[in-house]
Amino acid sequence: MIEIRVEKDLGKFSLNFSLNLQKAVTVLFGPSGSGKTLTLNTIAGLVEPDSGMIRVNGTVYFDKKGGVNLPIHRRRVGYVFQEPSLFPHMTVFENIAYGISGLPSMEKKQKVNRMIERMRLGGLEKSLPHQISGGQKQRTALARALAASPLLLLLDEPFASLDNPVREKLRLDLLRIGKEDRTPLIFVTHDVEEAFVLAEELVVLNEGSVEQTGNKEDIFYRPQTHKVAKFFGVKNIFRGKIMEIHAEEKVVNVWVEEKGFQVSIPYREGAVVGNWVRFCIRPEEIMILKEERPVKQSLNGNIFTGEIIRIVEKGAEHALFFKQSQDDYDFEIFVPNLAYRSLRIRERQHVRVAFKWESIWVIPEGK
Amino acid sequence: MDESVLFSVRLSLQVAIAATVWVVLVGTGMSFILARKSFRGKEILDILLTLPLVLPPTVTGYYLILFMGRNGLLGNALFRWTGWSIMFTWYAAVLASFIVALPLMIKTTRAAIESVDQNLIKVSYTLGHGELKTFFKVILPLSKKGIIAGAVLSFARAMGEFGATLMVAGNIPGKTNTMPIAIYTSASSGDWSKANMMVIFFTLVSAAFLYIANRLSKKGF
């Protein structure tokens, strides 16, 4: 559907990647300065790549070798920025009508009215942009982009400056409209939650290149690089040396030198005793064992005794910092508030924590 | 009112209106190019267009004679082709006023065009409108205030043009003696009542224009 292969050198920063997007909703995720906006700008035609090719649904937007560089206004790309950027001298109605061309005025009017209804803007037709709220402005901007029947909709952190309830509503509006219209969209964000609500396909950018692409479960539970694991809040990432391999049980025992503990992790093809591996475990996958309970066999020996050195409230959950042996904490553990209350844990308390070896993800080497 | 005073008033208004029409058309186009395009020699063009603002009007007038005079670069070609010369006609007064007022128009309009939010222009492009349509539908309406303020200032400046006009249009009674020139003539020949009349008229009109320009730049219209 969307094929992008671009190179752009800006001196201190360079963009260099290729992507082949097939899903209706793609989320470009990455920290600030990773090249997300620049990527959208090359697709829209606001920035010309040094080399490469951009093709959307069979239409070639840019092809360095073929000498194609379609001007912006002929690409039919809808673009919504973080700022609504409504034309201040036009009413809501006129803003939405602005991009509709080639229709008789009656049909044009109907199209605008339909869009106003779908984006819940009824009653604001004659308002000027400075008379409406931030959420209404951004809905108008979305309606304006969609009314022009774009081949592709680009959204650059469009909800970042809105408050949470408004933002959540707008995300749902966007998903609904996107489905109804079958307009493919590329959504840029650095908000993990937003990425998860929206993405059918997730692209993680870092320093101008693609770290990983895939569906959200893949990226959440099976990060291919250390960076991706970090961006998506894995928290517990370790490097250790393989001590023993139990191929028939698909388990490998690893010694984590820096922390001073041994752990069992899933066996991966090619594991060799003495090699180093990087692995991680999400903070919500670590259990705190109650004293009286017998230990289940399935925990496979990944049980650690130590102390909770710090507790941080994080809204819907608590973050517990567990220390087994040395100075710093070893694991960060997320416990939902309900479970936290029933556990009755305090700082400085001694506990046992455990995790299943299946919960551990081995980050492929060399990345 | 004295017949000759009336003539000067009418001529001055006629010259200023004609010059302002040209100033607005050419000035807006030039401002757009200077504000939004980058090309070689842009700075030189900018300096050339601004020079009449700082040069003594006699120097500007002198250049106009060099270019447009019967033996001038353009004037000579025009004369050989049509047998007509612009010198010492009211058109020359329009030309002088135009050249002198143009920088005022460009300064205000360029600033207004540059202050239009870049994102609005990008949005217009992505919504399928090219450069020309974007100019008329977005840039022009949003810099309207600056353009009108520039036009008012230019009009006032064109009405008051003296030095360059005197050099290229002369001081021919009943033909090219605009108000500022007629005031000079009356004062130097001791015709104080005539001079007083025109000076008061001129002061009132100019003050009215400044008032309009101020109001426009404050709250629009």
Same domain, A218 and A262: no
Residue A8 sits in a domain of what CATH number? Answer: 3.40.50.300
Query: What's the token pair of residue A11?
Result: 């001196």
Choose among A37, A343, A73: nearest CA to B132: A73
How does pLDDT run across B65-124, given as a tens digit for each residue?
A: 999 888 888 888 888 888 888 888 999 999 999 999 999 999 999 999 999 999 999 999
* Domains by residue range for chain B, with CATH: 3-219 (1.10.3720.10)
| Residue where a domain terminates, one of A231, A249, A269 | A231
The SS3 of residue B118 is helix
Same domain, A212 and A247: no
Same domain, A220 and A330: no
Choose among B120, B128, B141: nearest Cβ to A99.
Answer: B128
d(CA B70, CA B50) in angstroms, rounded, equals 26
CA distances from A263 to A255, A281, A323, A364 (A): 7, 12, 15, 18
d(CA B115, CA B130) in angstroms, rounded, equals 20
Same domain, A224 and A254: no
How does pLDDT run across A177-226, given as a tens digit for each residue?
A: 878 888 899 999 988 888 888 888 999 999 998 999 999 888 888 899 98
Contact B129 A148 (CB under 8 A): no
Give pLDDT, residue A196.
Answer: 87
Q: Which B-chain residues 135-164 have CB contacts (< 8 A) with chain A? A: 137-138, 141-142
Report the complex ipTM: 0.82
**Entry pTM:** 0.82
> What does the DSSP 8-state code read for residue B29?
H
Number of domains in chain A: 2
Same domain, A153 and A16: yes
Amino acid letter for position A350: H
Strands A14-21, A2-9: pairing is antiparallel
Which range of residues forms the domain containing residue A330? Answer: 236-363
- Interface membership of A102 toward B (CB under 8 Å): no
Residue A367 has pLDDT above 50, yes or no: no
d(CA A58, CA A11) in angstroms, rounded, equals 32
Q: Which residues of B touch A130 (CB under 8 A)?
A: none
Give B144 to chain A, closest Cα distance, Å. Answer: 11
How does pLDDT run across A148-173, given as a tens digit for each residue?
A: 999 999 999 999 888 888 899 999 88
At residue A299 the predicted structure's pLDDT band, cuts being 50, 70 and 90, is low
How does pLDDT run across A225-271, given as a tens digit for each residue?
A: 988 988 888 889 998 899 888 888 888 888 888 888 888 888 888 78
d(CA B168, CA B164) in angstroms, rounded, equals 6
| Residue where a domain terminates, one of A171, A206, A231 | A231
Exposed / middle / buried, residue A357 (Cβ in 10 Å: 0-12, 13-18, 19+): buried
Same domain, A159 and A194: yes
Give pLDDT, residue B1.
Answer: 62
Q: Tokens 């909703």 belong to which residue?
A: A25
Give B129 to chain A, closest Cα distance, Å. Answer: 5
Residue B28 has pLDDT above 80, yes or no: yes
Choose among A73, A83, A87: nearest Cβ to B125.
Answer: A73
How does pLDDT run across B121-137, given as a tens digit for each residue?
A: 999 999 999 999 999 99
Q: Percent of chain B scored above 70 by pLDDT?
A: 97
Element (H, E) at B21: helix B3-36
| Residue where a domain terminates, one of A207, A231, A255 | A231
